[in-house]
């Protein structure tokens, strides 16, 4: 983007802020930049990724010894779950340690809990860059369901017919979900996914992909 376009864009932004009667703190403003930092995220043209400063604490994190430490770790991960596929399934062994019957001082961790901690931490540290949603692009919703979770990925087509992720969603299954057959649970995943991402889908055609042949 050339300097003339930068000036035009800034003038437009300032004009709209003035109309909305919004004031700015000059010392906190950054001008003529292609990146913006907001709540631990970095937004740049067409992309969103995690600010490296927000992940520094994860690099040296050790397995929590108390529920307070564990909830703090999970809280930090929850902020960036949109970047991690199958987040609910990955975090489930750790979430189970936050139940009321678990003492405040955690018991010695099991191998499954340690593996889940390392897996979730590594997934956060290697979080992919997400594509920002754009109008008039081909949209695909990948849906999956298993015994532990239902999840989906929203993808959009970029130049070169490459599909890039916009965001990942997932949730653990409920007691009622566990009564469903495999096909019913996969169908639940489709319905849940469309309702979850409908604000990206309304008014346009989209493709749903599932690996469960009975649904097709």
How many CA atoms are closer than 13 Å to the CA of 129, on its beta-carbon side?
9
The string of DSSP letters for 113-165 reads: HHHHHHHHHHHHHTPPPEEPP-TT--EEEEEEE-SSEEEEEEEEEETTTEEEE
Nearest C-alpha neighbor of 90 from the set 113, 56, 70, 111: 113
Task: Give the mean pLDDT of the chain.
Answer: 88
Could you give the angle at which helices 111-125 and 52-59 cross, rounded to 10 degrees? 150
- State pLDDT tens for residues 15-48: 999 999 999 888 888 777 788 888 878 888 888 8
The CA-based angle 164-168-169, given to 5 degrees, is: 155
| pLDDT for res 32 | 76
- Location of structure tokens 């609910």: 88
Say which residues have a Cβ less than 8 Å from residue 61's Cβ, sequence separation at least 6.
73, 121
- Whether the pLDDT of residue 2 is over 70: the answer is no
pTM of structure? 0.78
- State pLDDT tens for residues 59-113: 888 899 999 999 999 998 888 899 999 999 999 999 999 999 999 999 999 999 9
| pLDDT for res 54 | 73
3-state DSSP assignment of residue 47: strand
Alpha-carbon span 129 to 124, nearest angstrom: 11
Sheet holding 139-145, edge to edge: 162-172, 149-158, 139-145, 207-210
Instruction: pLDDT band for 134, please (50, 70, 90 cuts).
Output: confident
CB distance 166 to 141 below 8 Å: no
């Amino acid at each position: 983007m050339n300097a003339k376009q930068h000036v035009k864009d800034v003038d437009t932004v300032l004009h709209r802020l003035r109309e909305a009667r919004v004031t700015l703190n000059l010392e906190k403003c950054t001008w003529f930049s292609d990146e913006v930092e907001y709540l631990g995220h970095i937004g740049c043209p067409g992309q969103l990724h995690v600010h490296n400063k927000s992940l520094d604490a994860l690099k040296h994190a050790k397995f929590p010894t108390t529920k307070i430490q564990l909830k703090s770790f999970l809280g930090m991960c929850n902020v960036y779950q949109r970047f991690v596929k199958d987040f609910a399934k990955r975090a489930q062994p750790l979430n189970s340690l936050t139940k009321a019957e678990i003492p405040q001082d955690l018991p010695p961790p099991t191998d499954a809990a340690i593996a889940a901690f390392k897996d979730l931490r590594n997934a956060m540290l290697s979080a992919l860059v997400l594509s920002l949603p754009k109008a008039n692009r081909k949209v695909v919703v990948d849906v999956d369901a298993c015994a532990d979770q239902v999840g989906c990925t929203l993808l959009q087509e970029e130049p070169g017919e490459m599909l890039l992720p916009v965001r990942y969603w997932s949730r653990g299954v409920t007691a009622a979900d566990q009564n469903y057959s495999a096909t019913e649970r996969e169908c639940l995943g489709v319905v849940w996914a469309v309702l979850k991402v409908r604000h990206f889908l309304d008014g346009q055609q989209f493709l749903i992909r599932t690996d469960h042949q009975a649904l097709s």
